[in-house]
Amino acid sequence: MESEDFTLWKIEFIWQMREFKNNLLKHFDFEEDSGFFDHFPKTETTGGSYGKKMRTEHRQLMKDLEKILIKLKKIRGINNPELKNLEVDILQLISEISKHENREMGVIDSLYN
């Protein structure tokens, strides 16, 4: 990919990641502000409210996503070795989001099944 092509790709990818970030924020806002967590049990193993634990995970996931965006903005060319590291970071974030959502659904399933 030539330099100009990389720049256009990078800008588009930044925009896609920002859109993803905004959608993820909306999702977390809904869970946190709709009373969704009010149905989660309070347990000693989670140090109180499971909903509190989920909110903490939301904040960490958003921080991780922001770090990815910062790294992406610093990359100046396709041959930059940080591009491969960025791919690893993105795949890790996707995995963590998936695990987080599965934990939430597991709690909901246990309450209603």
Tokens 């960490």 locate to: 60
**Amino acid type, 91:** L
Task: Enter the tokens of residue 84.
Answer: 């491969």
pLDDT of residue 44: 57
Rounded Cα gap, residues 103 and 54, in angstroms: 9
**Count of domains forming the chain:** 1
Reference 78, options 8, 11, 2; nearest CA is 2
**Could you tell me the CA-to-CA distances from 58 to 19, 49, 79, 81 in Å, in that order?**
17, 14, 33, 29
Output the tens digit of pLDDT for each of the chain's 113 residues: 568 899 999 999 999 999 999 999 999 999 999 888 777 776 655 445 778 889 999 999 999 999 999 999 999 888 999 999 999 999 999 999 999 999 888 887 887 77
Domain range enclosing 65: 3-112
pTM, rounded to two decimals: 0.86
Short-list 15, 1, 17, CA closest to 89 = 17
- Which residue type is seen at 70? I
